Amino acid sequence: MVVAVLGTTISPYLFFWQAGQEAEDTEAHPQRVPLKRDPAQGPSALARIRFDTALGMAMSNLVGLAILVTAGATLHAAGARDVNSAAQAAQALRPLVGHWA
Residue 66, pLDDT above cutoff 80? yes
Residue 9 is predicted with a pLDDT of 66
pLDDT 10s digits, 10-51:
766 666 777 787 778 778 887 777 778 888 888 988 898 889
pTM of the model: 0.58
Instruction: Please indicate whether residue 8 or residue 89 has the higher confidence score (pLDDT).
Output: 89
Tell me: pLDDT of 93 over 80: no
Cβ partners under 8 Å of residue 52, min gap 6: 18, 21
Which tops the pLDDT comparison, 85 or 9?
Answer: 85
